[in-house]
Amino acid sequence: YFTVGYPIPQVKSPGGITRGFEARGANAILVPIEVPPDRIDMFFELAAAIGNLDGMVVTIPHKFRARQACTTVSPRAELLGAANVLRRNPDGSWHGDMTDGIGFCNAVRAKGTDLAGRRALLIGAGGAGSAIGLSLLDGGVESLAVFDLDTGRRDALISKLATRYPTVAAAPSADPAGYGLIANASPAGMRPDDPLPVDAAGLTPAMHVGDVVTAPEVPPLIVAARAAGCTTNTGTEMYQAQIDVITDFLLGRD
């Protein structure tokens, strides 16, 4: 199995998923592969022909392209147009699903935070953000506001989610004031000079703040949120909360 993304050094899945294979008695290993966006079409064409490649975990920025490589997908991957896990169908084609939202919401609940009734602010409408937004709504948040500097991408996600939920809308800014749950699904925080994705001055102890960034392990937003008294979950905790989901999917045991 491969984990494919660009960049790749921050991914946590090779070790965790390989241990998951071992625990299930599967003779398999997950290998990280770094593929830049201008070569991803070539990669998927080649991957389809690799006889001992049984599946993939797909990370930034290839999740929307991964959906295009699939012949069949889960209902949530179909709605979002993105996939982060792929496995072979009996005919050798790819079947995809999108588990990032499950991982994020599992991590939130593991901290004792109930999604029901909370007003949520989602920062970032990419592959991970799309999945998180859907899972937050599925989990019972009162409303979801989406902010992305790419307004076209933001509006595309809102249009998809609005087919199921009328309580999703564009956020006028990244101001966290008035929300009970903040989800950073943008890469802000991966580089030392990145600005915070939201204004830390607006954070209060009543909020839960989650982040998808895995490197650094405690990103700057989470540092600021903890200083403000918020409950938090990190990107690493989000990943850990979906290891079993991903491993079972790859092995066809979901």
Q: Which residues are catalytic?
A: 63
Phi then psi dihedrals of residue 73, to 5 deg: -145, 165
Helix (H) or strand (E) holding 168: strand 168-170
Which one, of 138, 139, 131, 127, lies nearest residue 65 by Cα?
127
Report d(CA 236, CA 243) in Å as an integer: 11
Residue 177 DSSP code = T
C-alpha to C-alpha distance for 225 and 123, rounded to whole angstroms: 15
Rounded to a whole number, what is the distance in angstroms from the first to the last CA of the chain?
17
Instruction: Fill in the amino acid letter for 74.
Output: S
Structural Rg of the chain based on CA atoms: 18
Please answer whether residues 137 and 79 qualify as being in contact, where contact means their C-beta atoms are separated by less than 8 angstroms. Answer: no
Cβ count near 163 (within 10 Å)? 9
Whole-angstrom Cα distance, residue 61 to residue 21?
25
